[in-house]
Amino acid sequence: MNQVLHQIKDNPLLQAVFNNVSCGIVLVDKERNILALNSVFERTLGISSRSLLGKKIGELLGCVHLKGRVALEKCCLENECQECEIRKAALYAITYNKPYQGNAAIVVSVKNVTHHISFQLKAVPFSFAGERYAVVLLQNFTKLKALKQNLEHFAGIDSIIGKHQTIIDLKELIKEVAQYDFPVVIQGESGTGKELVALAIHQESRRANQMFVPVNCAAIPHGLLESELFGHVKGAFTGALKDKKGRFELADGGTIFLDEIGDLDFNIQAKLLRVLQEGSFERLGSTETTRVDVRVISATNKDLQDEVEAGRFRLDLYYRLCVAPVMLPSLRERKSDIPLLAKYFVDYFAKAEDGQVPKISKGAMEILKGHSWRGNVRELQNVIQFSLMKSKGKIIKKEHLPSYITKQSESSYTSYSRTKKLTKKKVLQALEKAKGNKQQAARELGVARSTLYRFLKNLK
């Protein structure tokens, strides 16, 4: 091994190629142990090459199946590791002395938060001093760097930015519900930061050192969602070539976050209800019961009560999930936080690009404060990112904002807001027109759903 490393270190040409190509390069032996890795890995993942020598590539990337030494020692017995594309690529190149090329997918843990990432993979064999080795090349894996940066800046209760009373109350509520293990439902419009709040609850809880596993229920096709949540056994359906752990198993001991819970179909709702009641389930195609200790936090931009009344959501599941409801305010309800949030995003994106941190002109800020923000904080984040690009690191002016925002002046938005001032008569008319659907009524009134809820509560 030392001879191989010396060959690389003593050859200026090899050193130049090894450390200056855009992809990650790892040199492994027949046991798939890391002998060397290039500086791309160090820069992207923020790690020292010395700390990873002699370990597996899965450890380098943070594969959840290798979490802990016990799991690592048994990795060759695990179906996930037997079928791992990275492992197969290295073994193929060494065993058959041929290059291997394909795509790889892996579930990784970054600061105890799981993410599914994919990248292009190539393994090339070579021999030295009678031993065979493989050079494994990973391309487009830099998403891991973005994940690390995001989790450093957008995680925990302190990353919930705002001084408005609704945010102060929200932070207090997060601390309260975090002390208990009962299910939490986070409700709010799209872009209000539901996953951020879920992660804050997890990190304030006793499970903070365990896994946080997010699942976007709306992004996974219904036919695959049951397998994603609960796993499957080999042969359970066409294409099930190996056993697979589901997200609930990955979250054992920690927290699972089910985003867009209102999109679950009835069959999966029934299985989820059993997990909440008994802490057990069966993998798809299996009769063996799996038990887990998982806290469930869910989120939706739908009104679950309306979904229950419409027959699309189980009443018993609703009561199981909604032990502690958390309502997130829209950005329209806390416009005083817009300057604070805008500055936060300017600082974050400018520093991420190692550029100068510009200011926002008074005129541009007035337009931002007057915008309706249908996409809430996520929309503001995207607007700031766009404006930084247009301003080229200099002061952000009106002309640097997206055109759809500059067309809406603060005065027009203010007058629009005045026409939408709630009265008992307007609310009752809107509810009657929407046949009791509060979400539709709020849309008709031009206010956030949470605003309508508070107004109705005050009427009682």
Average pLDDT for 1-23: 65
| Closest of 365, 363, 355 to residue 388, by C-alpha | 355
Question: Per the domain annotation, does 195 fall within a domain?
Answer: yes
User: For residue 327, how many other CB atoms are within 10 A of its CB?
Assistant: 18
275 and 205 together in one domain: yes
Identify the pLDDT of residue 142. 60
CATH of the domain at 339: 1.10.8.60
Please state which of the ranges 184-193, 220-229, 434-443 shows the lowest mean pLDDT: 434-443
Res. 344: pLDDT tops 70? yes
Counting Cα atoms < 13 Å in the Cβ hemisphere of 363 gives: 8
208 and 322 together in one domain: yes
pLDDT by residue (tens digit) across 381-427?
A: 999 999 998 988 789 999 999 988 887 644 444 444 444 567 888 88
DSSP designation for 352: H
181 and 298 together in one domain: yes
Question: Per the domain annotation, does 147 fall within a domain?
Answer: no
Question: Per the domain annotation, does 149 fall within a domain?
Answer: no
DSSP 32-81: --EEEE-HHHHHHHT--GGGGTTS-HHHHHTBGGG-SHHHHHTGGGSHHH
212 and 288 together in one domain: yes
Identify the pLDDT of residue 9. 61
Identify the pLDDT of residue 198. 95
Tokens of 440: 């539709």
Identify the pLDDT of residue 351. 78
Res. 137: pLDDT tops 80? yes
Question: Per the domain annotation, does 91 fall within a domain?
Answer: yes
Domain end marker among 327, 352, 375: 327
Res. 435: pLDDT tops 60? yes
CATH of the domain at 452: 1.10.10
The phi-psi region of residue 32 (left if phi > 0; otherwise alpha if psi is between -120 and 50; otherwise beta) is left
8 and 128 together in one domain: yes
Identify the pLDDT of residue 14. 64
The phi-psi region of residue 373 (left if phi > 0; otherwise alpha if psi is between -120 and 50; otherwise beta) is left
28 and 138 together in one domain: yes
Counting Cα atoms < 13 Å in the Cβ hemisphere of 277 gives: 11
Domain end marker among 142, 175, 208: 142
Please state which of the ranges 85-89, 201-205, 295-299, 344-348 shows the lowest mean pLDDT: 85-89
| Closest of 136, 134, 138, 39 to residue 95, by C-alpha | 134
Average pLDDT for 228-256: 89
> Across 26-30, 394-398, 436-440, which has the greatest mean pLDDT?
394-398
Identify the pLDDT of residue 318. 94
Res. 368: pLDDT tops 50? yes
Average pLDDT for 52-66: 77
Res. 204: pLDDT tops 90? yes
Which residues constitute the domain of residue 81?
2-142
| Closest of 245, 227, 321 to residue 277, by C-alpha | 321
Res. 44: pLDDT tops 80? no
Average pLDDT for 38-45: 74
Q: Which one is predicted more confidently, 65 or 213?
A: 213
197 and 343 together in one domain: no
Q: How confident is the model at residue 158 (pLDDT cuts 50, 70, 90)?
A: confident
User: For residue 75, how many other CB atoms are within 10 A of its CB?
Assistant: 20
131 and 166 together in one domain: no
Rg (CA), the chain: 26
400 and 426 together in one domain: no
Identify the pLDDT of residue 414. 43
16 and 32 together in one domain: yes
Res. 177: pLDDT tops 80? yes
Identify the pLDDT of residue 411. 41
Number of domains composing the chain: 4
344 and 398 together in one domain: yes
Average pLDDT for 326-353: 90
Q: Which one is predicted more confidently, 406 or 48?
A: 406
228 and 279 together in one domain: yes
CATH of the domain at 204: 3.40.50.300
User: With a threshold of 0.95, does the pTM exceed it?
Assistant: no
Identify the pLDDT of residue 417. 46
Identify the pLDDT of residue 151. 61
Question: Per the domain annotation, does 403 fall within a domain?
Answer: yes
Average pLDDT for 120-133: 85
Question: Per the domain annotation, does 148 fall within a domain?
Answer: no
What residues form DSSP beta bridges with 408? Answer: none
Average pLDDT for 253-258: 95
